Amino acid sequence: MGMGPVRGLLERLLGGRASGVSGADAGGDEGTGVAETERWLVVGLGNPGPKYAGNRHNVGFMVVDELAERGGHRWKAHKAHADVAEGRLAGTPAVLAKPRSYMNLSGGPVAGLSRFYKVPMERVVVVHDDMDIAFGALKLKRGGGAGGHNGLRSITSSLSGPDYLRVRVGVGRPPGRMDPAAYVLKDFSSTERKDLPLELARAADAVESLVTEGLERAQNSFHT
User: Looking at the annotation, which residues are catalytic?
Assistant: 57
Nearest-Å Rg of the Cα atoms of the chain is 16
Cβ(113)–Cβ(26) below 8 Å? no
Specify which residues 96 forms β-bridges with. Answer: 42, 85
Dist CA 203 CA 139 (whole Å): 9
Report CA torsion sign: 222, 148, 19, 24. positive
Cβ(83)–Cβ(18) below 8 Å? no
Q: What is the DSSP letter of 187?
A: B
Cβ(97)–Cβ(112) below 8 Å? no
Residue 45's SS3 state is: coil
Residue 148's SS3 state is: coil
φ, ψ for residue 207 (rounded to 5)? -60, -45
Dist CA 153 CA 172 (whole Å): 20
Cβ(79)–Cβ(113) below 8 Å? no
